[in-house]
Amino acid sequence: MKRTIPLFISAVTGFVLICTAFIPKFVDWGNDAMAWFNILAAFAFILGGGNLLKMQLQKISAQQAGWGYSAVTLIAFFITLIVGLLKVGVHPNINFPEYAWSGDYLEEGSAFWWLFEYIFYPLSATMFALLAFYISSAAFRAFRAKNTEATILLLIAVIVLLGRTYAGVWLTSWLPNEPILGTSGITYSDFHLSHLSEIIMDDFTTPGMRAITIGIALGVASTSLKVLLGVDRSYLGSDQEA
């Protein structure tokens, strides 16, 4: 019951979806499965919220260090949830004005929109903007040309960093657009940093990424097959679970 049924469910679902690629009859079944999958994904958001609630409440009740911040999280969570679910400040759909609940929950000017625009938006954007500072600190402290490989990495990074801005043009614009003696078709201007960085991306990064992509594809395929055949059961957790 605890292990056999889940193994059966995952195998059937997986193989039905695999068959959609080969047997047209299975396409409709596959579409149904995907529609259910998407609904479950939405419930995963609810589960996430519920989990957050559970954990923060545990923290508050145990009066762990920093429990006040947990209370702040919960207040923010509930305010967002309530104004969003109750569509506070939302007008009805213009085509159906007598249906009070028919409006867009994210309508401009509504309370939920305000929370997104003036609280979630700046907080989320600034959190990620911090990374620019940390990457600069890391550049100073961690990126060392310790060996050949690290030197290649840094050199390429420098060429691409320069080549992808106007600095590249400034530094190498003196190279004339004339053919190099003894070569056919190569000009000095081909060594402009902007052009070099394009060559690096097209001719060197592409094969590197392609090999990584092939490797990952094989990994994903084998893991998927292991899951569907019941060889990999790690997602089921331990038997001791309540």
Long-range contacts: 220-225, Cβ < 8 Å, 24+? Answer: 224/14
Distance CA 217, CA 207 (A): 15
Distance CA 115, CA 123 (A): 11
Q: Minimum distance from CB of 176 to another protein (Å)?
A: 17
Closer residue to another protein in complex, CB, 62/220: 220
Dihedral of the alpha carbons of 182, 185, 188, 194, in degrees to the nearest 10: -150
Which H or E run contains 221? helix 206-228
Dihedral of the alpha carbons of 181, 182, 188, 189, in degrees to the nearest 10: 120
Take residue 3 and report the two structure tokens written for it. 């292990």
Among 57, 62, 180, 209, binds another protein (CB under 8 A): 209
Based on the shown chain and the rule CB under 8 A, indicate whether residue 10 belongs to the binding site for another protein.
Answer: yes
Among 23, 62, 161, 231, binds another protein (CB under 8 A): 161
Q: Minimum distance from CB of 83 to another protein (Å)?
A: 8
Based on the shown chain and the rule CB under 8 A, indicate whether residue 144 belongs to the binding site for another protein.
Answer: yes
For 67-94, b/e burial (b = at least 16 CB within 10 A) is eeebeebbeeeeebeebbeebeebebee
Based on the shown chain and the rule CB under 8 A, indicate whether residue 133 belongs to the binding site for another protein.
Answer: yes
Which whole-number Å values give the CA distances from 103 to 4, 48, 115, 116, 226, in the listed order? 45, 26, 18, 17, 46
Here's the x/- map for another protein, 36-75, by CB under 8 A: it reads as xxxxxxxxxxxxxxxxx-x-----------x--xx-xxxx
Q: Minimum distance from CB of 34 to another protein (Å)?
A: 5
Q: Which region, judged by CB under 8 A, interacts with another protein, from 57-65, 173-181, 195-203?
A: 195-203
Among 173, 191, 202, 231, binds another protein (CB under 8 A): 202
Based on the shown chain and the rule CB under 8 A, indicate whether residue 105 belongs to the binding site for another protein.
Answer: yes
Closer residue to another protein in complex, CB, 175/200: 200
Dihedral of the alpha carbons of 104, 108, 112, 113, in degrees to the nearest 10: 130
Here's the x/- map for another protein, 14-33, by CB under 8 A: it reads as xxxxx--x-----x--xxxx
Q: Minimum distance from CB of 38 to another protein (Å)?
A: 3
Site for another protein in 213-232 (CB under 8 A): 213-218, 220-221, 223-225, 227-228
